[in-house]
Structure 1
Amino acid sequence: MVQFKQNIRGNVALGVNPLGLKQEVLNEIDYVKNKGPYEAPKKVLIIGASSSYGLATRISLAFGAGADTIGLSYEKGPKSERNLGTAGWYNNIAFKEEAEKEGLIAKNFVMDAFSHESKQEVIDYIKNEFGGKVDLVVYSLASGRRTDPDTGETYMSSIKAIGEPVVGPNINMQKQTFFTETLDPATDQEIHDTVKVMGGEDWELWMRALKEADVLTEGVLTTNYSYLGTELNHPYYGGGTLGRAKADCDEKADNINALLKDINGKALIVVATAVTTKASSVIPFFPVYCIGLYKIMDEKGTHETPIMHQDRIYREMIYGSNPEYDEMGRLRPDSWELDSDTQAKTKELIMKLNDGNFNSDMTAYDIFYKEFSNLSGFMVDNYEEQDVTIEELKALEY
């Protein structure tokens, strides 16, 4: 029988519990079902659908709005008891199994979303097996590298400051330590490469390919998740390479809006709140911001996990009656995080943290660590230990 062990290197999760991941998907489905049904598009393509925001979006739209979904991701299945594959692989399988029980279409594509070939394969599926058109396209791809489909050149992203180094506190979940870190400024090449990977270029390529193939409905909506943050994390996020990539998404949204004008389509940037993801866990200084922010928001009753946040975005804002837009037309569900009192109390708390108290009741370290563990199938609510063989895991179909 396979033994599941949580393995963390720094703030990177290496081990997975496939059965725990399935239970976490079930928990998120139950959350959506308990909120009741809502009206939203019924044919949805989600690019980056296997974890965090993408998975939560897919669960909300399927089990809240009854949507058929296509999910695209780049994941790996199990090879041995020592190499069980990636969390997203099992998330895809669990979602598909539960969606099909509801009579929904849940097509999983496991491929390189950046390639022209992948775009064409998805387009062919939409035309031949998915009713011909989609009315919502969600772009939620998170990757540290991208190969340009036209030039073949591969770019790597860099999470760095711009202009001057940034010095601040960080935590190491593996060693359970609190330390001071220096984030070096990026070179012009690193800024350029980060925008190529994490900016909006591929989003625009997807929308052009889908439009040219005539698989978008009249009035189609496409969303892309962004994050702006606050003055507390601006030096290393909004003012760094990540901020440049997010600004590029704003520019590409304008291009897509022009592209979709003749079919009354719309590109919408959704400025999301701070949540625990595999990506956010490795952003320098960000975990410290989270354990402070979560403590304050949890006390106020405004802290959200990805499924809570995404369900609110689609149920109450995009397809509901309570949207909040800024002057640039971006949806702003991050208003709870940006609340002035919340930010002031978060700043005050963070300033008091040190190696002796960062993981105490003074902070929300316990919440952050649990949510981080849930991403790999550990510390999952309602989970019950079961025996499973590697052969049974290999036999699962995505």
Structure 2
Amino acid sequence: MSARVIAPRRRGFLFLDSHPAGCQRIVDDMWQAVPAPAAGAQQRRPVALVIGSSAGYGLAATIAGLKRAGIRGIGVCFEKAPDRRTGTAGWYRTAATAQLAHQAGSDMRFLNGDAFSDNMKEEVADLLERHYGRLDYLIYSVAAPRRTDPDTGSTYASVLKPIGTAHRTKTLAFDNDVPVIREVETAPAEGDDIEQTVAVMGGADWERWITHLSDRGLLNDGFTTAALSYIGSSLTAAIYRQGTIGAAKSHLEATARALNERLDKECGGRALTSVNGAAVTQSSTAIPGIALYVGLLRGVLGDSLVPPIGQLTDLWDQLTGTAPLKVDDDGRVRLDTWELADDVQAAIAERWHQATTDNIADLADLGWFHAEVQCLYGFAVPGVDYDAAVETDIPWPTTT
């Protein structure tokens, strides 16, 4: 047994440990937030693969898929087991998700490893053949700093940089839990920064997954795949949508169009990108300006801000036909309209330009934002006793 009291220790927005009980409570709360399946919903449990199933929108896709769409299948993620330190938060969230899936009567297995590798693709294909048969849905939600190309062995690294010129922006930091507004400057992309970022965060790996599963004969008739994406505000565009990450997102969307044509011919299937709204995630907190933007967004919208679990419930309803599929002129499912409404963006822009260290507490919902960052690691979760010892050596869910 390895029960102990876990106190939050962090560097900036990065926490060194995670709290198992807090992570489980977060998953439980997300599950409770998903409505039961609609009346007359399909009786057959569709087979789904969620790549990036342990955090952020991928976790929301897994939980919403399990409860709302009744999926069974496989989740793939890359998490660290408990050792001298606790396991990663995603390790504990996956254990909690597997428990809920079992209680709901859903056969959901989770694989831990490098989703970019062909070995993982082969392991998933083998598991599908043994236990599930052909695949109905694939949700792709991967954010990673590096990717090794299985064909060449080359390792690519993604960067967060503007394209063309340096970009200076306001950003939010917490110095000893005191909110501070600073200006930071990010140097522009140089050399092969754009190509490297596209190689990691673009559509190459998503397409490789589809090809691998198709070659194994594992795509069902009418197979649907969706890659999760983000556009965001003009306030963050220079570092995001118009920067190196934006180039990768454009490549992802171009890949969706090519895959859509291909799948239509192969199995009457389709490929989409789903443009999600802003959220506090481990990836987003690393982007200059995003923390400030999301805090202001919450300050403007309050409880009207739609969390990832609400957005992904909407996505599953559209994918399964419970609700009409709504796409824009570029064929993208838009789950971000609440965020990009003109009045919302105008209000955020006004607060953005006013924001200083002295007044930021009046303009942004900092209490909510600070709690959301801690919740990423299982801390500051209502209803959890953080003075009590908690078991940290929790096993990975069985895949047999």
Normalised by the size of structure 2, how large is the TM-score? 0.93
Q: Indicate conservation of the 8 Å contact 2:98/2:397, yes or no.
A: no
Shift of 1:258: 2.7
Deviation for aligned residue 1:171: 1.4
Higher mean displacement: 375-384 or 148-157:
375-384
Equivalent position of 1:36 in the other structure: 36
| Larger mean Cα displacement after TM superposition, 52-61 or 373-382 | 373-382
Query: Deviation of residue 349 (structure 1)?
Result: 0.9
Conservation of the 8 A alpha-carbon contact between 1:9 and 1:174: no
Alpha-carbon distance, 1:141 to partner:
1.0
- Return the letter of the residue paired with 2:146: R
**CA offsets per residue over residues 173-202 of structure 1, 9 Å max, x none?**
354322110011011411110000111100
| Residue of 273, 293, 299 corresponding to 2:277 | 273
Post-superposition CA distance 1:327-379 (Å, at most 9, x none): 11111111111100000001001111111222x24311222221111111011
Q: Distance in 2 between matches of 1:155 and 1:174?
A: 33
Q: Offset of 1:91 from its aligned partner?
A: 0.8
- Take 1:79 and 1:119, find their aligned partners in 2: how far apart are those partners? 27
In the alignment, the residues of structure 1 paired with residue 391 and residue 75 of structure 2 have an alpha-carbon distance, to the nearest angstrom, of 27
Correspondence 1:189 to 2:183: no
Letter of the 2:73 partner, please give it: T
Q: SS in structure 2 opposite 1:107?
A: strand
Q: Which amino acid aligns with 1:102?
A: A
Please tell me whether residue 12 in structure 1 is matched to residue 18 in structure 2.
Answer: no
Q: Is the 8 A contact 1:8 1:173 kept in 2?
A: no
Which amino acid letter does the alignment assign opposite residue 195 of structure 1? V
SS in 2 for 1:173: strand
The alignment of Structure 1 onto Structure 2 pairs a total of residues equal to 388
Q: Quick check: 1:374 aligned with 2:375? A: yes
**What residue number does 2:83 align with?**
79
Distance 2:320 2:101 in 1: 22
Question: In the aligned structure 1, how far is the partner of 2:136 from the partner of 2:324?
Answer: 21
Q: Residue 246 of structure 2 aligns with which residue? A: 243
Paired position in structure 2 for 1:3 = 5
Distance 1:47 1:5 in 2: 31
Alignment correspondent of 2:60: 56
Choose from 95, 101, 106 the match for 2:97.
Answer: 95
Q: Which amino acid aligns with 2:151?
A: D
Structure 1 residues 149 and 396: CA distance shift in structure 2, 3 A: closer
Look up the match of 2:73. 69
Give the secondary structure class of the aligned counterpart of 1:278: coil
- Tell me how far apart the structure 2 counterparts of residues 335 and 317 of structure 1 sit (CA, whole Å): 18
Which of 112, 127, 130 in structure 2 is aligned with 1:128? 130
Using the TM superposition, give the Cα deviation of residue 12 of structure 1 relative to its aligned residue in structure 2, in angstroms.
Answer: 2.0
In structure 1, how many angstroms separate the alpha carbons of the residues matched to 2:117 and 2:33?
Answer: 35
Residue 344 (structure 1) aligns with: 346
Render the CA deviation track for 1:292-316: whole Å, top value 9, x for unaligned.
1111122xx5302211221122236
Letter of the 2:389 counterpart: D
Summarize the alignment of residues 296-315 of structure 1 with structure 2, pairs less than 5 Å apart.
296-298=300-302, 301-315=303-317
1:284 paired residue number: 288
C-alpha distance in 1 between matches for 2:326 and 2:263: 23
TM-score norm. by structure 1 comes to: 0.93
Name the residue aligned to 2:206. Answer: 203
Report the equivalent of 1:46. Answer: 50
Q: Cα deviation per residue 1:124-179 (whole Å; 9 max; x = unaligned)?
A: 1101112x111000001111110111111111110000001111111123543221
Q: Which runs of 5 or more structure 1 residues have no equivalent in the other structure?
A: none
Q: Counterpart of 2:219 in structure 1: which amino acid?
A: L
Match of 1:6, as an amino acid? P
Cα 1:100–1:161, aligned 2, differ >3 Å: closer, same or farther? Answer: same
